[in-house]
Amino acid sequence: MGSAQGGRVRLTQSHSGRDTVPVQTEKMRHLYVVIDCSRSMEDQDLKPNRLTSTLKLMEAFVDEYFDQNPISQVGIITTKNKRAEKLTDLAGNPKKHITALMKAVDTVCVGEPSLYNSLNLAIQTLKHMPGHTSREILIILSSLTTCDPANIYELIKTLKSLKVRVSVIGLSAEVRVCTVLTRETGGSYHVILDESHFKELLMLHIKPPPASSSSECSLIRMGFPQHTIASVTDQDAKPSFSMSHLDSSSGPGLSLGGYFCPQCHATYTELPVECKVCGLTLVSAPHLARSFHHLFPLQAFIESPVENLQGDRFCQACQAELKDKSVFSCPSCHSVFCVECDLFIHESLHCCPCCIYRQTAP
Amino acid sequence: MKLNIEGLLVYFPYDYIYPEQYSYMLELKRTLDAKGHGVLEMPSGTGKTISLLSLIVAYQRAFPLEVTKLIYCSRTVPEIEKVVEELRKLMEFYTKETGESNNFLALALSSRKNLCIHPEVSSLRFGKEVDGKCHSLTASYIRAQHHSNPNLPVCRFYEEFDSVGRQVPLPAGIYNLDDLKAFGRRKGWCPYYLARYSILHANIVVYSYHYLLDPKIADLVSKELAKKSVVVFDEAHNIDNVCIDSMSVNITRRTLDRCQNNVDTLQNTIHKIKETDAAKLREEYRRLVEGLKEANVARETDIYLANPVLPDEILQEAVPGSIRTAEHFVGFMRRFLEYLKSRLRVQHVVQESAPQFLKDVFDKVCIDRKPLRFCAERLQSLLRTLEIADIADFSAVTLISNFATLVSTYSQGFTIIIEPFEDRTPTIANPVLHFSCMDPSIAIKPVFQRFQSVVITSGTLSPLDIYPRILDFRPVTMASFTMTLARTCLCPLIVGRGNDQVALSSKFETREDFAVIRNYGNLLLEMSAIVPDGIVAFFTSYVYMENIVASWYEQGILENIQRNKLIFIETQDAAETSMALEKYQEACENGRGAILLSVARGKVSEGIDFVHHYGRAVLMFGVPYVYTQSRILKARLEYLRDQFQIRENDFLTFDAMRHAAQCVGRAIRGKTDYGLMIFADKRYARADKRGKLPRWIQEHINDGSLNLTVDEAVQLSKHFLRQMAQPFRQEDQLGLSLLTLEQLESEEMLQKITQIAHQT
């Protein structure tokens, strides 16, 4: 109970800090998550062990990430035995990542991780990402050592010049090199206290980071392909191979329907994706709309003690009686909410229900 | 900020102050008010230096007649430089606040090696060489000869200083060693002599202990310092050993051989001079008859710091006739030398007191006590007369003559031990004569008597009351300060058992025990897996460390540790150790992580700080008792018992615990730092040991951290390290352990501050 309470305080803090100053945030993110699979991941201080617990949280993370950042991409790298391997490439499809993560539960944890190799592997892809998008690496590090083939401080300089933001979540204690790495590249460094804290820290990375002022500002060409569903009886329809199946071995992917790139008419079974033929970013309108709320974040509600409240002591959202010491009121419509609803509104709804109600029914 | 310390306006150059700094200044002010001596313990990293400087400078400004000078003694050159930098910050703050430049003169003084700017001399590598070379260029007779023979080399910097440097005092300001050198270069003056001359009228002097405590150097440098000075000994937890070392003499066969050569050279030189310049020797003879009266006059008028080597009575008398002429003196030295050689030809250990020794000298070679006492003075005079340029070559004969003077002067407080071989190698004959001082108060007494206030301070001085006893002085204030913390950043754990419940201890009986060694290994292994970056582990001695490490290697523990961290080992070789240290820091920096195995009382335990990631945990394997079988130590313990009523065990425990505290204190160097302190010996849990740790460590040891097993310690450490890794900002400290002026002046805080100082 104590830690849950603490978690709420932390969340509301991080929240109000960000929301009071509306900042421009990254819309298109390219994030590599590096998961440490070294010997220390077998430690059982997270149940059942660190690896399983991490992978489980990662599944939730990937889901939530694509929910909040629909036109962004994620890739997963694992590191063990002084090497780094790509588990999944940068891609915008949560399903692929989640299957890979589920499979990874059986990995044998051996040796030491290598920060250098994992960062290097991530850079290889990230450096080709266009400048108007964010380049991020999130490292989940359980080990306290790293085995590097070269001086990591050189690599940190490279990361800095490439504007790659590196954040670290430590599972055991504060390691100096990570402090430097995150400080230099503008990322954040946290160490978990327990599993619920771990989850909170992970979820902090779902919110897009503020866009660096120096990032290129340009109009982005995007295609909005239409989903065509053709019936087999239709004579005009020609079956085609989905381009997204090119590099995966699962199924032939020959179908009649799908999303057709408006520029080159390549077929894709899912969105968002970058067209393999002409390089156009293909999204659907709902995707864009979902990342819209980051542009106009909902203002933080004003916290006030419950005694000051006049009239009915009921939360406007859930209609429950206000029993906590403090209540939250929307600065624009002055409706009052309980702490649970405040969290729910800011985390999931992203708009004040009472404001919306007033707009629709004046 | 400007503080009001019991009516004294103190300028403090920072916007925030720690509560204990305020408390420290209060105590210090009381010491100065009472014109007495003080013993103050405050943890390292809490701004001891700046508190001291701010208060004493303010005091000097407020009462210029009461306190004229601050003499700040520190141990190493980097520490001296740090003090000067703090002082510079303080003075800049004064200038900014008052708007006027105050004419304060503060300077650092170090050896010629660190201050010389002569292109040839300064390129020499060893301090002794530099001193010798400098002397050969600046001695008075060399310069006299230079007048007649301009080809003879002299130091132009010294010449320039000698001709004009003394007329204008050094302009007011703060000078560290580099500033002095730069100033010297600009003016063409010798910085060393300039500094030595300038300390007489400087307001603040920062230099090493030896300039006050070592009688041979103190006599040259510090004897004319004003009586109304405040003397501060920083990092003074080892001050008794410094005192003892400065008064002790060890003579080996090598020393005697070199001394023999020296005496031969003297004889030849005397012969030569006799043929060329007999008048010079006659002049010297006359001077010796006049005696040391002049020195006596000076001391009576209280200009000089008393010289413990040359006690007052000697000055009343003239040099005795038997050693007045040069040849007689050389003959006398020869006899004495032969006697010493015969004494070193022993087969068994001899221990005797100074009077016994003197009686034996008289019986065997008919040397009286009286001429022996004048030996050192007589030799100096002879060396001057003979115009011997390179004094460094005569160190052996100087040592013997010092020994002669000391042994004949002090009947108490010293012992003579002659050992035919070292205990460890009983087959190799290597006779040593230890003339060992057992009473540190002899060397420091002149300092306490002469100066108005002497402050002894360090991070680890517990138990406070023992210092006044062994140094034989009466302090007016004794206080220990704790560290106020916004978060508990130190975590002392006492591990008393292994996972198999075997008691962990380094005591003699279980030292070779396989189970203990294995459990120590397990402890280090487990710690290496959970502590990030650097771990420093201390052993009680080099021998013990070697045994354990060898045993760990055989059991494969080392190999397992190396999977987690690299291992570095301190050795007795200084170059090797500094190399290991450098690589250790590199490994910590790169995230590889490292363990440094070192020895309590070694170089690492005393002078090296392990800030932040360089030392996240310190392990103390065993209680670092001194080697108790040593005869010198036994003699000293006996003396302490008889003279000061300090029980042997009390002193041994005190000595072991101050070293343990020094070792573990290496890891915490400030309030933002954090570190584990692991005492791996069940004896630490006993009240008599625990009670001797500094208060700022003691108060974090609760019942839950006593007598833990390895596993329990690991669990506690894991939790601690995670807590400490959470973000920590300055705002978190503010109001608790870091105060603004308003917060400081609040009633409630002043109340709290009075509890910080723990009077004894």
| Average pLDDT of the residues in A245-251 | 56
**What pLDDT does A17 receive?**
38
**What pLDDT does B720 receive?**
94
- Quote the minimal CA–CA distance from B515 to chain A in Å: 26
Q: Between these two residues, A27 and B229, which has the higher pLDDT value?
A: B229
| Residues whose CB is less than 8 angstroms from the CB of residue B294 and which lie 6 or more positions away in sequence, other chains included | none
Q: How confident is the model at residue B67 (pLDDT cuts 50, 70, 90)?
A: confident
Residue B711 has pLDDT above 90, yes or no: yes
Phi first, then psi: give them for residue B85, nearest 5 degrees: -65, -40
A359 touches chain B (CB under 8 A): no
Q: Are B590 and A177 inside 8 Å of each other by CB?
A: yes
Phi first, then psi: give them for residue A116, nearest 5 degrees: -60, -50
Long-range contacts of A252-259 (CB under 8 A, 24+ apart): A256/A229, A256/A230, A256/A231, A256/A232, A257/A227, A257/A228, A257/A229, A257/A230, A258/A227, A258/A228, A259/A225, A259/A226, A259/A227, A259/A228
A167 touches chain B (CB under 8 A): no
CA distances from A51 to A104, B143, B392, B528 (A): 9, 80, 68, 21
| Residues whose CB is less than 8 angstroms from the CB of residue B280 and which lie 6 or more positions away in sequence, other chains included | B273, B385
- Could you tell me what percent of chain A has a pLDDT over 70? 81
Residues B232-243 have pLDDT tens digits of: 999 888 899 989
**Closest chain B residue to A81, measured at CA:** B563
Q: Beta strands of B165-269 (E only): which ranges?
A: 173-175, 204-208, 229-233, 249-252
**What pLDDT does B87 receive?**
92
- Which DSSP symbol is given to B243? H
Nearest in space to A72 (alpha carbons), one of A274, A349, A279: A274
Give the residues across from B4 on adjacent strands.
Answer: B9
Q: Which two tokens stand for residue B631?
A: 């005869």
Which of 576-595 (B) contact A at CB < 8 A? 588-593
Cβ–Cβ under 8 Å, residues A92 and A66: yes
Q: Which two tokens stand for residue B4?
A: 């009001």
CA distances from B38 to B29, B210, B722 (A): 10, 20, 40
- Quote the minimal CA–CA distance from A357 to chain B in Å: 41
Starting at the edge strand found earlier in the chain, the sheet holding B105-108 runs: B173-175, B105-108, B204-208, B69-74, B229-233, B453-458, B37-41, B475-481, B757-759
| Residues whose CB is less than 8 angstroms from the CB of residue B153 and which lie 6 or more positions away in sequence, other chains included | B137
Give yes or no for a cis peptide into B371 (omega within 30° of 0): no
* Cα B760 from Cα B758, distance rounded (Å): 6
B617 touches chain A (CB under 8 A): no
Residues B117-131 have pLDDT tens digits of: 888 888 888 887 888
**What pLDDT does A321 receive?**
82
Nearest in space to B198 (alpha carbons), one of B106, B117, B84: B106
Taking the CA of residue B563 as centre, how many other CA atoms within 13 Å lie in the half-sphere pointing to its CB?
16
Q: Between these two residues, B51 and A217, which has the higher pLDDT value?
A: B51
Residue B213 has pLDDT above 70, yes or no: yes
Nearest in space to A34 (alpha carbons), one of A170, A173, A130: A170
- Quote the minimal CA–CA distance from A147 to chain B in Å: 6
How many other C-beta atoms can be found within 10 angstroms of the C-beta atom of residue B649? 10
* Cα A168 from Cα A173, distance rounded (Å): 11
- Could you tell me what percent of chain A has a pLDDT over 90? 31
Taking the CA of residue B667 as centre, how many other CA atoms within 13 Å lie in the half-sphere pointing to its CB?
28
Q: Are B718 and A172 inside 8 Å of each other by CB?
A: yes
| Average pLDDT of the residues in B2-26 | 90
* Cα A221 from Cα A358, distance rounded (Å): 36
Residue B694 has pLDDT above 80, yes or no: yes
* Averaged pLDDT of chain B: 86
Map residue B175 onto helix, strand or coil.
strand
**What pLDDT does A294 receive?**
66
* Cα A89 from Cα A102, distance rounded (Å): 16
Q: What is the pTM of this model?
A: 0.83
Residues B482-496 have pLDDT tens digits of: 888 888 888 999 999
Map residue A215 onto helix, strand or coil.
coil
Residue B305 has pLDDT above 80, yes or no: no
Phi first, then psi: give them for residue B15, nearest 5 degrees: -80, -20
Rounded to 5°, the CA angle A19-A23-A28 comes to: 110
Handedness of CA B594, B563, B601, B676 (dihedral sign): positive
**What pLDDT does B300 receive?**
42
Select from B563, B591, B593 the Cβ nearest to the Cβ of A115.
B591
Q: Between these two residues, A65 and A288, which has the higher pLDDT value?
A: A65
Cβ–Cβ under 8 Å, residues B719 and B507: no
**Closest chain A residue to B615, measured at CA:** A176
* Cα B725 from Cα A190, distance rounded (Å): 7
- Quote the minimal CA–CA distance from B756 to chain A in Å: 31
**What pLDDT does B45 receive?**
79
Q: Are A176 and B726 inside 8 Å of each other by CB?
A: no
A192 touches chain B (CB under 8 A): yes
- Quote the minimal CA–CA distance from A315 to chain B in Å: 34
**What pLDDT does B599 receive?**
93
Residues B94-107 have pLDDT tens digits of: 888 888 777 889 99
- Could you tell me what percent of chain B has a pLDDT over 70? 95
Count the residues in chain B. 760
| Average pLDDT of the residues in B43-60 | 90
Least confident interval from A262-266, B244-248, B296-300, B633-637: B296-300
Select from B529, B591, B723 the Cβ nearest to the Cβ of A177.
B591
* Cα A330 from Cα A351, distance rounded (Å): 10
**What pLDDT does A8 receive?**
41
Q: Which residues of chain B lie closer than 8 angstroms to A144, CB-CB?
A: 529-533, 564, 593
Handedness of CA B113, B119, B120, B124 (dihedral sign): positive
| Average pLDDT of the residues in A106-111 | 89
Q: Which two tokens stand for residue B560?
A: 């397992």
Rounded-to-10 torsion of CA B385, B219, B115, B136: 10
Q: Between these two residues, A212 and B106, which has the higher pLDDT value?
A: B106
Mutate to test the interface with B, among A177, A190, A193 (most CBs of B within 10 A): A177
Which of 512-531 (B) contact A at CB < 8 A? 529-531
Cβ–Cβ under 8 Å, residues A270 and A73: no
Q: How confident is the model at residue A360 (pLDDT cuts 50, 70, 90)?
A: confident
Q: How confident is the model at residue B314 (pLDDT cuts 50, 70, 90)?
A: low
Q: Helices (H) and strands (E) in chain B — how many of each?
A: 36, 22
Residue A121 has pLDDT above 90, yes or no: yes
Q: Between these two residues, A325 and B706, which has the higher pLDDT value?
A: B706
Residue B562 has pLDDT above 70, yes or no: yes
Full DSSP string of A265-304: --EESSSSEE-TTT--EE--HHHHHHGGGGTSPPPPPEEE
Q: Which residues of chain A lie closer than 8 angstroms to B675, CB-CB?
A: none
Is the ipTM, as predicted for this complex, more than 0.85?
A: no
Handedness of CA A234, A240, A243, A249 (dihedral sign): positive
**Closest chain B residue to A171, measured at CA:** B722
* Cα B360 from Cα B366, distance rounded (Å): 9
Residue A233 has pLDDT above 90, yes or no: no
**What pLDDT does B56 receive?**
93
Residues A280-314 have pLDDT tens digits of: 878 877 777 666 666 667 788 888 888 777 777 78
| Average pLDDT of the residues in A125-143 | 88
Give the residues across from B437 on adjacent strands.
Answer: B414
| Residues whose CB is less than 8 angstroms from the CB of residue B146 and which lie 6 or more positions away in sequence, other chains included | B152, B154
**What pLDDT does B301 receive?**
41
Least confident interval from A338-342, B339-343, B598-602: A338-342
**What pLDDT does A160 receive?**
92
Q: How confident is the model at residue A328 (pLDDT cuts 50, 70, 90)?
A: confident
Residues B525-547 have pLDDT tens digits of: 999 999 999 999 999 999 999 99
Map residue A28 onto helix, strand or coil.
coil
**What pLDDT does A234 receive?**
61
Q: Helices (H) and strands (E) in chain A — how many of each?
A: 10, 17
Select from B532, B564, B722 the Cβ nearest to the Cβ of A175.
B532
**What pLDDT does B299 receive?**
42
Q: How confident is the model at residue A176 (pLDDT cuts 50, 70, 90)?
A: very high
Residue B522 has pLDDT above 50, yes or no: yes
Count interface pairs A-B at CB distance under 8 A.
Answer: 72
Give burial (CB, 10 Å; 0-12/13-18/19+) of B19.
Answer: buried
**What pLDDT does A215 receive?**
52
Instruction: Find the distance separating the first CA and the last CA of chain A, reported in whole Å.
Output: 42
Give yes or no for a cis peptide into B463 (omega within 30° of 0): yes
